[in-house]
Amino acid sequence: MPVINVTLMEGYDEVTRERLAKGITQVAQTVIGAPLEGITVTLQELPPANYMRGGTRKSPGTPPISPSEIIRSYLAAMEARDLETAKQWLADTALLTFPGGADFTSLEAMIEWARARYRSIGKTYERFDETGTDDGAVVICQGTLHGEWLDGSKFEGIRFVDWFLIRDGRIVEQRVWNDLSETPATR
């Protein structure tokens, strides 16, 4: 069973240290197949006075917002139709792909496309999963959709999966899968 020791500069908050330890545990489980309960991760901290790089004392940097929190903030803004806030989370070259191969490079175009499908929509989240890749962080969220069809009737319990790629704190790609087209009101 692996024992992984990590040395950090003193000063990172508890949430950041916990995210780091959990992430390292998940990587070890995935890469070497060790059972979760058999993986030990220890974080040791060096006081700033005991750390120097390039002949200069350093301080810990500010950790970025977690990829899942970026996605939660973006999706909350989209559900509220606060497009200005939602746009702050998108890279300038973001590509949004929705069911049926509908690709968008602007939120306005995506919302216009959705107007022909439903009056309103919301999400109930069951889980968020995130991982690092060579291209950036990937977040997958899944759950169910609820809302109102064009005729005013309500819907709920429609499955969805959203896949996001995040680079430098911004969403560069979103891919959406859902069962909206499998329900009677959209046929």
pLDDT in tens, 124-143: 999 999 998 999 999 999 99
Residues 104, 37 within the same domain: no
Residues 128, 46 within the same domain: no
CA separation (Å) from 30 to 6, 23, 120? 18, 11, 39
How far is 162 from 175, CA to CA, in rounded Å? Answer: 6
Question: Which residue, 38, 57, 76, sits at the end of a domain?
Answer: 57
Query: Does 156 reside within a domain?
Result: yes
The first and second tokens of residue 39, run together, are 């993986």
Question: Which residue, 39, 57, 75, sits at the end of a domain?
Answer: 57
Question: Where in 23-167 does DSSP place strands (E)?
Answer: 40-46, 52-53, 56-57, 90-98, 102-104, 120-133, 136-148, 154-167
Find the mean pLDDT for residues 86-98: 97
Residues 125, 144 within the same domain: yes
Residues 92, 149 within the same domain: yes
Instruction: Give the structural domain span for 80.
Output: 67-186
Using pLDDT thresholds of 50, 70 and 90, give the confidence band for residue 167.
very high
Query: Does 62 reside within a domain?
Result: no
How far is 177 from 187, CA to CA, in rounded Å? Answer: 17
Q: Give the per-residue pLDDT at 168.
A: 94
Please write the tens of the pLDDT for every residue from 62-79: 888 999 999 999 999 999
CATH at residue 133: 3.10.450.50
Query: Does 12 reside within a domain?
Result: yes
**91: exposed, middle or buried (C-beta count within 10 Å: 0-12, 13-18, 19+)?**
middle
Residues 96, 137 within the same domain: yes
Using pLDDT thresholds of 50, 70 and 90, give the confidence band for residue 187.
very low
